[in-house]
């Protein structure tokens, strides 16, 4: 299973946000999309799941061009955890069940409910099942959003800053959780993140973006202090601490 | 991902069972109130006789004529109008992402009132007529209804046009609606300022929403519109749940949010416009009814839509019944009662908070 982007170019009016973006991701891999605010990380994710239509280039899943698929069919292949989810007075079970939307015709089937239950069990969310999502903490709510994307039975999971506004414990929880889901179930994961240290710790590959272009795409070995300085404009040291790479700003 | 080991949890079954029971219980209650509503009035008819006549039987009291010609169309109209107003309000709150959202927020009632005023002043004219029930009658009701409806469509059309030019964000819709509402209110005031006292009385009288204005013909027309709207809304129940989860999330689930929002607004507005044009302005049902139901069974549109339907029917029929008997032999317009009954219930629910 391969996700492949070929020459993807997207602009808002005259402002080019993505410029000839080409890369591919294999299943079981978690890719961190890194870059400063406004560089086009969210636009990249939206182009991948066809919310935005690139002016040029194509997004292929296993060789299948997403431009030829209906929105519902895209949603059966790609799960999307948006940056800002809204809560309402739904139980976690019903909120997760919403992820079956692309598969539902008129009414939910027993099979839909069973999949929700299976995902809840996998993620250990049984205790939250009948809690209302508007009464949950940020971490609990984020887990429900990820669970919702998983019941879509996607091949690809896109996450837009899944750890924004979470405390340290929840950041580690959520990313560990995403990592586990991606590598354990053969899903392709792509997440936009800001925190370099958590990204370095949990991701398999790193995609650095600058001015709408890919500056570098590779494994941890390709991440250098020079690269980080070029992208963020901040001098850093890249040290290893108890086996984990750590970025320390030195300015 | 292999997800073959799931089961439907027993607690979840019980939870959805409770919601289903709420809706079912609502229908039973609605039927009881319905029979009671028909049985009381200037002539008291025993409930058992009401049921017998409703089932097509006959009684010795000669009550059939009262029931078939007067009470039954009025009670049925109250139920159907309550369903339409309640369910339109519920959908609008969701697609406008605003707890105060209702077709009235979009200026529908103000537009209809302006249309009615214009019809009274320029096209038809109102006449005073002294009778037991009504002090004033609009002399040409069909013309007035038609013009009121046409102007509510103009209001909706302008809002749609604005949302097409701008992106279809809920904020633009709500603000455009408020602007249209105050524009039409100003227009109505302008007409009222130059109206003579007969016309003025007819204009003001028209705005008092009253279910007694509907005969069988109007009832059937309203019913068809409300039924179609209800089917459309139920068909979109998952889309509304998705929009509740945020536009981005909904898009990611394959929902074309823009389209769902605009069509939803159109259907809810037209439904409300039809009811308001025939019956006059009946406030509060569209706003309060969804909130009452949300506080009891939550925001899941699978249950919220049938729940608000039945609650809307209950609320308007109860208000209508009380309006008929509270100052008998005078009959109040139901619009006065909906707020009198709805507001305390709503405030009680606000204070008490959510129920689990």
CATH label of the domain that carries residue B147: 1.10.3470.10
Q: Tell me how many residue pairs between chain A and chain B have CB atoms under 8 A apart.
A: 120
Q: How far is B21 from chain A (nearest CA, A)?
A: 18
The domain in which residue B313 lies consists of: 10-352
Asked whether residue B344 is assigned to any structural domain, the reply reads yes
Q: How far is B150 from chain A (nearest CA, A)?
A: 35
Residue B299: list chain A partners with CB under 8 A.
Answer: 88-90
Residue B254: list chain A partners with CB under 8 A.
Answer: 70-75, 101-102
pLDDT digits (tens, 9 = 90+) for A174-217: 888 888 888 888 889 999 998 888 889 899 999 999 888 888 89
C-alpha B281/C-alpha B294 separation (Å) is 24
C-alpha B243/C-alpha B246 separation (Å) is 5
C-alpha A164/C-alpha A148 separation (Å) is 18
Asked whether residue B4 is assigned to any structural domain, the reply reads no
C-alpha B199/C-alpha B201 separation (Å) is 5
pLDDT at B137: 54
Residue A24 main-chain phi, psi, to 5 deg: -135, 155
Hey, are the CB atoms on A86 and B249 less than 8 Å from each other? yes
pLDDT digits (tens, 9 = 90+) for A37-60: 888 889 999 999 888 888 999 999
C-alpha A152/C-alpha A78 separation (Å) is 8
- Strands A56-61 and A64-65, sheet pairing: antiparallel
Q: How far is B190 from chain A (nearest CA, A)?
A: 43
Report the DSSP beta bridge partners of residue A59.
A5
Q: Which residues of chain B have pLDDT under 50?
A: 127-133, 135, 356
Residue B4: list chain A partners with CB under 8 A.
Answer: 118
C-alpha A70/C-alpha A78 separation (Å) is 12
E strands, chain A, in order: 2-12, 15-26, 30-34, 56-61, 64-65, 78-81, 156-160, 188-192, 205-210, 213-218, 236-241, 244-249
Hey, are the CB atoms on A129 and B298 less than 8 Å from each other? no
Hey, are the CB atoms on A75 and B252 less than 8 Å from each other? yes
- What order do you get walking across the sheet with A188-192 strand by strand? A78-81, A156-160, A188-192, A30-34, A205-210, A213-218
pLDDT digits (tens, 9 = 90+) for A47-106: 998 888 889 999 998 888 888 888 889 999 999 999 888 888 999 999 999 999 999 888
CATH number at residue A206: 3.40.50.300
Crossing angle (nearest 10°) for helices A168-185 and A138-151: 10
User: Among A73, A84, A99, whose Cβ lies nearest the Cβ of B246?
Assistant: A84
Asked whether residue B108 is assigned to any structural domain, the reply reads yes
pLDDT at B23: 95
Asked whether residue B2 is assigned to any structural domain, the reply reads no
Using a CB–CB cutoff of 8 Å, tell me whether B28 touches chain A: no
User: Among B246, B253, B254, whose Cβ lies nearest the Cβ of A86?
Assistant: B246
Q: How many domains does chain B have?
A: 1
Decide: A217 and A205 in contact? Cβ < 8 Å.
yes
Of B255, B99, B101, which Cα lies nearest the Cα of A71? B255
- Going by the DSSP 8-state scheme, the letter that residue A86 receives in this structure is P
Q: How many domains does chain A have?
A: 1
Q: What is the ipTM of this complex?
A: 0.89
Residue A190 main-chain phi, psi, to 5 deg: -140, 120
Residue given tokens 């001015």 in the structure block: A211
C-alpha B41/C-alpha A95 separation (Å) is 47
pLDDT at B1: 61
The domain in which residue A209 lies consists of: 2-249
Report the DSSP beta bridge partners of residue A5.
A23, A59
Hey, are the CB atoms on A187 and B298 less than 8 Å from each other? no
């Amino acid at each position: 299973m391969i996700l492949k982007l070929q020459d993807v170019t997207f602009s808002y009016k005259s402002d080019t946000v993505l410029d000839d973006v080409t890369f591919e991701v294999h299943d079981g891999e978690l890719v961190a999309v890194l870059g400063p605010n406004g560089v086009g990380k969210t636009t990249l994710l939206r182009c991948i799941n066809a919310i935005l239509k690139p002016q040029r280039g194509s997004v292929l899943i296993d060789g299948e061009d997403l431009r030829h698929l209906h929105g519902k069919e895209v949603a059966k292949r790609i799960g999307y955890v948006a940056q800002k989810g809204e809560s309402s007075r739904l139980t976690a079970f019903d909120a997760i069940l919403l992820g079956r939307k692309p598969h539902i015709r008129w009414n939910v089937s027993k099979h839909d409910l069973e999949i929700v239950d299976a995902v809840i069990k996998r993620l250990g969310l049984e205790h939250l099942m009948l809690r209302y999502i508007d009464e949950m903490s940020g971490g609990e709510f984020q887990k429900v959003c990820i669970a919702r994307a998983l019941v879509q039975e996607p091949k690809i999971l896109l996450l837009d800053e899944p750890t924004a506004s979470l405390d340290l414990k929840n950041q580690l929880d959520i990313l560990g959780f995403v990592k586990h889901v991606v590598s354990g179930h053969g899903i392709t994961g792509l997440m936009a993140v800001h925190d370099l240290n958590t990204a370095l710790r949990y991701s398999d590959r790193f995609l650095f973006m600058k001015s709408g272009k890919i500056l570098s795409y590779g494994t941890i070995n390709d991440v250098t202090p020079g690269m980080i300085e070029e992208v963020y404009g901040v001098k850093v040291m890249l040290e290893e601490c108890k086996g984990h790479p750590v970025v320390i700003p030195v300015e | 991902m292999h997800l073959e080991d799931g089961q439907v949890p027993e607690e979840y079954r019980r939870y959805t069972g409770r919601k289903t029971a709420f809706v079912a219980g609502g229908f039973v209650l609605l039927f009881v109130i319905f029979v009671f509503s028909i049985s009381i009035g200037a002539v008291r008819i025993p409930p058992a006789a009401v049921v017998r006549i409703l089932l097509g039987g006959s009684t010795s009291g000669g009550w059939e004529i009262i029931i078939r010609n007067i009470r039954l169309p009025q009670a049925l109209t109250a139920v159907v109008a309550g369903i339409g107003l309640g369910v339109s309000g519920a959908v609008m709150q969701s697609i406008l992402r605003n707890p105060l959202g209702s077709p009235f927020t979009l200026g529908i009632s103000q537009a209809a009132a302006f249309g009615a005023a214009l019809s009274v002043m320029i096209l038809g004219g109102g006449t005073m007529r002294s009778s037991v029930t009504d002090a004033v009658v609009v002399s040409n009701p069909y013309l007035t209804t038609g013009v009121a409806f046409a102007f509510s469509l103009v209001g909706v059309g302008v809002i749609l046009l604005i949302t097409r030019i701008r992106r279809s964000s809920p904020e633009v819709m709500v603000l455009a609606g408020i602007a249209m509402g105050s524009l039409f209110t100003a227009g109505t005031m302008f007409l009222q300022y130059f109206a003579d006292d007969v016309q003025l009385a007819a204009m003001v009288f028209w705005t008092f929403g009253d279910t007694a204005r509907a005969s069988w013909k109007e009832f059937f027309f309203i019913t068809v519109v409300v039924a179609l709207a209800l089917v459309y809304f139920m068909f979109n129940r998952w889309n509304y749940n998705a929009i509740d989860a945020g536009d981005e999330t909904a898009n990611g689930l394959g929902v074309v949010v823009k389209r769902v929002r605009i069509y939803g607004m159109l259907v809810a507005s037209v439904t409300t416009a039809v009811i308001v044009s025939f019956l006059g302005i009946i406030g509060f049902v569209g706003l309060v009814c969804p909130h009452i139901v949300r506080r009891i069974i939550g925001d899941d549109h699978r249950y919220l839509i049938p729940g608000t339907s039945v609650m809307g029917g209950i609320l308007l029929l109860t208000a209508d019944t009380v309006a008929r008997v509270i100052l008998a032999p005078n009959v109040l317009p139901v619009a006065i009662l909906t707020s009198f009954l709805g507001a305390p219930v709503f405030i009680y629910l606000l204070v008490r908070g959510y129920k689990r």
